[in-house]
Structure 1
Amino acid sequence: MLKNFWYAVEFANAVTRAPKRVTCLGQDFVLYRKRDGTVVCLSDLCVHRGAALSEGTLVGDKIACPYHGWEYEPDGACSKIPANPEGRGIPKRARVDSYPIREEYGLIWAFLGDLPEDERPPIPHFPEHDDPSFACVYVEMVIEANYERTFENVVDAAHTPFVHGTRFGNPDKPQIPDYEIVQDDWSAIADISLSPPPARGLWKRLYKEKPEEVLTTNGWYLPNIVKLHVRLPFGDMVLYDHNIPLDRNRTLVKIVGYRNFFTGKWADRDARKRIRGILLQDKPVVESQRPELLPYDLPDELHLRSDALQVAYRRRRQQLMADGWWVGDDEQMPVNGKRGSATVIPSPARRENPELARAWQHRARGGTPMPAPKKAADGGTEKE
């Protein structure tokens, strides 16, 4: 899993004045709106005894822990400890991580990392969002698989004739022509021609005759977004597929789908049904893949020219891992618990305050403390 990126962690309309827990990169966060409507994102773990802040209440723009009433400011600093006698100060370590937030394209994006603002990778541009000719729907689904497997599945054009043969792939013409990739540090895009199956249902009314080919634009945006743009004879369908890693083996897929045909609200239900149908076709296949995690070395799996977009991703991923952008064991908060301790994903405050870089450290959920080695009489350490 990659840190130091903007992650779309929730649909904007789902975030209100009521604290809401979301999960990404194996860590829980709490989201809420301040009185002016802007969104706050904090680590969902009170530094005192580890209670979930998302179970707490808002006091103005602060959030109060449900356990001992500690109040945290939007920047993560604790500003009130009810148990303290009057005049007693608040420890510097009494704070939680606060993450930068942006609200764009109907999504809440959190920057999960500690890079300063001028070094952060960009949020992708979705030009359809502000185009009045496009209608938009939102769909989500949990898939029991690693996010890179679900991510590569959408990038992969060659699976469509077999997994989606009833929707937008043609098993009678499964060939994928060679394609060229346009790539930069944060994305890779390619135009790929596919042979479509006959139209069905509502869409069939607009087909005068079945086209021989449909041009699609497929590609990825780091860290976890796939774009699929299908140019149908009667209009454009554009899907932005966000693969949110709940943990190493579970993915929350959030899709923002745009279309410039059947743009009335009456057609939204059908659009959501079609997107959900595509996900349900992918789900059992991706959940069955082995190994569950994407291999690190390219030769560990066989690649063809039709896999060029996935290979481009894996190569860029290797570079970022070498640069230290991979979420290591010391930074993970495992969902099912693990022995030892773990720290939350570092926020910008850690870099800005080096003396507090490891101040907010907690036992992993379900973990057990490691006993200190006993010292022998001669000053050495006894072996157990």
Structure 2
Amino acid sequence: MLINLWYVAEWSDTVKDKPVKVKLLGQNFVLFRDQQGKVSCLSDVCLHRGGSLSSGRTIRDCVACPYHGWQFNGDGKVEFIPSEGRDFKIPDRARVDAYPTEERYGMIWVFLGDAPEDERIPIPEFPEYSDTANWRALHDKWDWKAEAARVVENGIDIAHASFVHPMFGEAETAQENHIKNVELHDFWGRSWNEQYPPELTGGFLNWRKLIRRDRQPTETIPTWYMAGMVVRIQINLNPRMSLIMFDANTPIDEHNTRTFAVQLRSFVKHPLFDAGSRKRLHKIFSEDQVILEQSSPNYLPETLANELSVKDDRFMSSFRRARRSLIEENGWLIDSAVVKAHDGRKSFAIPSPFRRERADLRWVMDPVPLVPPLTSAVKIVDQAELS
């Protein structure tokens, strides 16, 4: 699990007039709205006696701990301690970590880390989401008992469709599917693929067969983004009809992932068709779930040398290399083994931007332990990448 990335914490319409508890990167957080409607995200541990802030209530622009009523504003600073009265001078260190938030695409994005604003990997662009005249949006979510990086890699792996998803492929055409082009950047990548899927079926009087004939060449364009662990897949069914899947894959902890999914379609945009679209989406997720939750190891191997790769895997390998650079060069990987050793006995906090600015403060909670970056002398070199 990596810090210093944007992650989707919850759907926007879930956070209303009460605090909402969410879990990301193995840590608990509280989301709440102030009087202007802005969402704040704080560490969900009261620094006084460990109360869960998300079990409290909102009072004006603060969230109040249910244990002793301490009120925390959106910056994590204690504004009021009821037992001490209004005239009490609250010490500057009476604060918990607070994290930047943005609301986009119906989602609440939270930046979990202390990187300065100008150094943050940006939230992926999704311009089609606001183009309601040409696209119909369907929102859904899915939970996996699998690590987020595994879920991302599965999403951009076009080759598996011929064996896992009958809707998108057939084993007999697996060799014909091919990558046409790949575009790579530091923290995102895209590929263009041609596939030969079977004829679409279903719908009233089997109308979906009119969309695509059997083994009709179909362009599939998967994109991975490190920010949000996002997978975007665009499927151009024919020159006039396209589907877009935008999945933000949030690490709940090292074993579990929650996917916040937005599916767009450029055809049959009436809400009456949503039920069928949702059913097909769940079918695809269910087919992938069977594979991912039985894969070993649970985690994405840190080096390609631990799995045998072929030429068709080069696009997935680009995601692995980008992820590894954040681990080996930046040292952004949470040391889950150390966190687990303190489970139930000590609370940690993801370091926030203000913690970096005020390193002079004696913060009540220690920052979550990280795996140190590798020096150039001990960096892992994958022979598979060099072949």
- 1:314-350 CA-to-partner distances (Å, cap 9, x unmatched) read 111121112334232289865x962764521111110
The answer for the alignment partner of 1:68 in structure 2 is 68
Change (3 A) 1:92 1:156: same
AA partner of residue 196 (structure 2): S
Contact in 1 for aligned 2:179/2:191 (Cα 8 Å): no
Unaligned runs of 5+ in 2: 370-387
Matched, 1:299 2:305: yes
- 1:233-289 CA-to-partner distances (Å, cap 9, x unmatched) read 251100011111110001111111111111111111221111111101111110001
- 1:186-207 CA-to-partner distances (Å, cap 9, x unmatched) read 2000001111122111252533
SS in 2 for 1:180: strand
Contact in 2 for aligned 1:2/1:327 (Cα 8 Å): yes
CA positional deviation for 1:92: 2.6
AA partner of residue 188 (structure 2): S
Out of 276, 279, 285, the residue aligned to residue 282 of structure 2 is: 276
The answer for the alignment partner of 2:244 in structure 1 is 238
The answer for the alignment partner of 1:220 in structure 2 is 224
TM-score for both structures, normalised by structure 1: 0.89
The answer for the alignment partner of 1:111 in structure 2 is 111
SS in 1 for 2:124: coil
Change (3 A) 1:342 1:63: closer
CA positional deviation for 1:307: 0.9
The answer for the alignment partner of 1:375 in structure 2 is none
Contact in 2 for aligned 1:332/1:344 (Cα 8 Å): no
The answer for the alignment partner of 1:142 in structure 2 is 143
SS in 1 for 2:83: coil
Out of 336, 354, 374, the residue aligned to residue 349 of structure 1 is: 354
Matched, 1:326 2:332: yes
The answer for the alignment partner of 2:377 in structure 1 is none
Equivalent residues, number: 362
SS in 1 for 2:178: coil
Q: Which runs of structure 2 are paired with 1:74-93 in the superposition (5 Å)?
A: 74-84=74-84, 87-93=87-93
- 1:202-245 CA-to-partner distances (Å, cap 9, x unmatched) read 25253373352110001200141111111112511000111111
The answer for the alignment partner of 1:368 in structure 2 is none
AA partner of residue 231 (structure 1): N
Cα distance in 2 for residues equivalent to 1:350 and 1:323: 22
Change (3 A) 1:134 1:333: farther
Change (3 A) 1:357 1:93: closer
SS in 1 for 2:174: coil
Cα distance in 1 for residues equivalent to 2:362 and 2:320: 31
Structure 1 range deviating more: 67-76 or 267-276: 267-276
Cα distance in 2 for residues equivalent to 1:363 and 1:237: 40
Cα distance in 2 for residues equivalent to 1:236 and 1:160: 18
Change (3 A) 1:325 1:101: farther
- 1:40-61 CA-to-partner distances (Å, cap 9, x unmatched) read 1111111112111110011101
